[in-house]
């Protein structure tokens, strides 16, 4: 597909030509089906605030039907019984279809989430295709393992698919987030029911057609869209679900745990973050500054690994804050389909108001806005890049995830204080450190309680690199060899010879 240059033309192409080709009904048992009720979800374009689609809201009966299809496909269908190479071939075909339709999928994802189109096309959609290819290859390595044993006994560890998986996807990275879960689950031989995010479901419904075209057996992948309290609860509480994989808020993870606790399924969660980025005087300050700008304000701050807490050594504090403020003020906000846009809108009005409420509360508690702390410019759902100083480490905004383009800056005297501030959080997803001292970097890395530390870089993701957090940022890992392990169970077989 040829993509026009102008934002208005791209939006028109997405709404008038690409979106009408997407079947927005639940995808169950390999076909699109009607829902049991007439409740409808309205989907809006964050760039304009206007409604662009209405789709049927899956009810409990619809979810149970999807789980039934996945259960039958696992218990009776060919998928778990195919060789890893055969499953891998399906994943490779799916990756090829995603690459073939990369532009169309990116138009939908950008329209739905408000994320800049160029980045979505190159990263979100491109990374998803790479992930399916990676796990197609990795599937062939999940083999049985022989263990040493006494004479006369043969001990083998078998790796088997865990079963039917409930996959609940976040609205900020719906297409890529789904790939991080679907690819390892399918490679392992599991079947899945995906609950697409009600705020941004379009690209996953488009994925359904590619799944069918790639030749996956019916019921292996099922996709429904509904609100969490109804569809989500019905999915995670269904006794036929063997495992749950969830990306989203810590509060929702608690609700999922409560709803499924009676049967104690394994749950992999990738939750919120309150990333700390520590900058030392000996760092390459230009690189640190550029990474901080991208880490704090990229994707409009709607990113669990956002660099929302910036720790700056007192010796460089004033100059670094001044430079960061200048960059924030010059950041180009605009339409997500405009290639000049560096920061698009927030996902919707409710989220925009939640961000502003947290910022205003921080200001009332004594924080100072070096810049930003304003909404409504240049569009109805934009929030200005915000730099806050004089923020107490005990303040609510220092601990709660803002999920917006807001960075709080804290001065520190030495490495010990930087580590203390970084660990002063109930989250533990990621952190970064900027220094040319190997000793400083190593001690910071060893001391911070997070799942990932970036040293003199930020936001480095690849399909083969595990990702996940500790503390309230979740448990389990996605991507890499650890990612497929979450969807496999080990069976020990002891055989007398």
Which residues are designated catalytic? 270, 304
C-alpha–C-alpha distance, residues 349 and 361, integer Å: 18
Strand order in the sheet with 276-279: 368-371, 386-389, 406-412, 309-313, 276-279, 430-434, 452-455
Q: Which residues pair with 449 in a beta bridge?
A: none
For the record, the structure tokens of 483 come out as: 């990612």
**CB contact at 8 A, 309 and 272:** no
C-alpha–C-alpha distance, residues 166 and 249, integer Å: 16
Q: Which residues contact 235 (CB under 8 A, 6 or more apart)?
A: 63, 67, 166, 168, 193, 195, 224, 241
Q: Which residues pair with 41 in a beta bridge?
A: 55
- In angstroms, the Cα distances linking 183 to 91, 134, 189, 428 are 7, 8, 10, 25
- In angstroms, the Cα distances linking 363 to 135, 355, 386, 387 are 47, 13, 12, 11
Strand order in the sheet with 164-168: 31-32, 27-28, 221-225, 191-196, 164-168, 243-247, 267-270, 474-475
**Residue labelled with tokens 């730099």:** 387
């Amino acid at each position: 597909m040829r993509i026009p240059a102008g934002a208005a033309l791209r939006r028109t192409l997405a709404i008038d030509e690409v979106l009408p080709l997407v079947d927005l009904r639940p995808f169950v048992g390999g076909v699109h089906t009607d829902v049991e009720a007439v409740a409808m979800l309205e989907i809006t374009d964050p760039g304009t605030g206007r409604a662009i689609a209405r789709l049927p809201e899956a009810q409990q009966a619809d979810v149970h039907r999807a789980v039934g299809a996945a259960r039958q496909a696992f218990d009776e269908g060919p998928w778990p019984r195919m060789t890893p190479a055969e499953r891998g071939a399906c994943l490779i075909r799916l990756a090829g279809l995603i690459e073939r339709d990369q532009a169309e999928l990116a138009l939908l994802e950008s329209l739905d989430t408000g994320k800049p189109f160029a980045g979505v096309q190159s990263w979100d959609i491109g990374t998803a295709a790479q992930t399916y290819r990676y796990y197609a290859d990795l599937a062939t390595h999940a083999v049985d393992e022989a263990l040493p044993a006494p004479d006369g006994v043969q001990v083998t560890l078998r790796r088997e698919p865990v079963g039917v998986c409930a996959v609940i996807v976040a609205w900020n990275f719906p297409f890529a987030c789904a790939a991080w879960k679907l690819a390892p689950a399918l490679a392992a031989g599991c079947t899945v029911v995906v609950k697409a995010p009600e705020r941004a479901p379009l690209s996953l419904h488009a994925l359904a057609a590619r799944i069918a075209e790639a030749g996956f057996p019916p019921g292996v992948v099922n996709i429904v869209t509904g609100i969490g309290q109804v569809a989500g609860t019905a999915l995670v509480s269904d006794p036929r679900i063997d495992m749950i994989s969830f990306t989203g808020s810590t509060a929702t993870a608690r609700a999922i745990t409560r709803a499924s606790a009676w049967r104690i399924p394994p749950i992999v969660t990738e939750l919120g973050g309150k990333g700390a980025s520590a900058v030392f005087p000996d760092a390459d300050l230009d690189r640190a500054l550029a990474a901080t700008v991208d880490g704090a304000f990229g994707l409009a701050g709607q990113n669990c690994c956002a660099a929302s807490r910036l720790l700056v050594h007192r010796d460089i504090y004033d100059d670094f804050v001044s430079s960061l403020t200048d960059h924030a003020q010059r950041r180009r906000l605009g339409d997500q389909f405009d290639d000049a846009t560096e920061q698009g809108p927030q996902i919707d009005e409710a989220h925009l108001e939640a961000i502003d409420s947290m910022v205003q509360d921080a200001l009332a508690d004594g924080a100072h806005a070096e810049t930003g702390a304003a909404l409504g410019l240049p569009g109805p759902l934009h929030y200005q890049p915000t730099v806050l100083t004089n923020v107490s480490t005990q303040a609510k905004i220092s601990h709660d995830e803002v999920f917006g383009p807001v960075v709080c800056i804290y001065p520190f005297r030495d490495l010990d204080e930087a580590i203390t501030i970084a660990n002063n959080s109930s989250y533990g997803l990621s952190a970064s450190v900027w220094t040319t001292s190997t000793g400083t970097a190593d001690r910071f890395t060893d001391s911070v309680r997070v799942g990932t530390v970036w040293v003199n870089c930020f936001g480095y993701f690849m399909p083969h690199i595990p990702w996940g957090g500790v503390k309230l940022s979740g448990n389990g890992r996605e991507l890499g060899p650890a990612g497929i392990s979450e969807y496999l169970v080990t069976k020990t077989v002891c055989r007398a010879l």
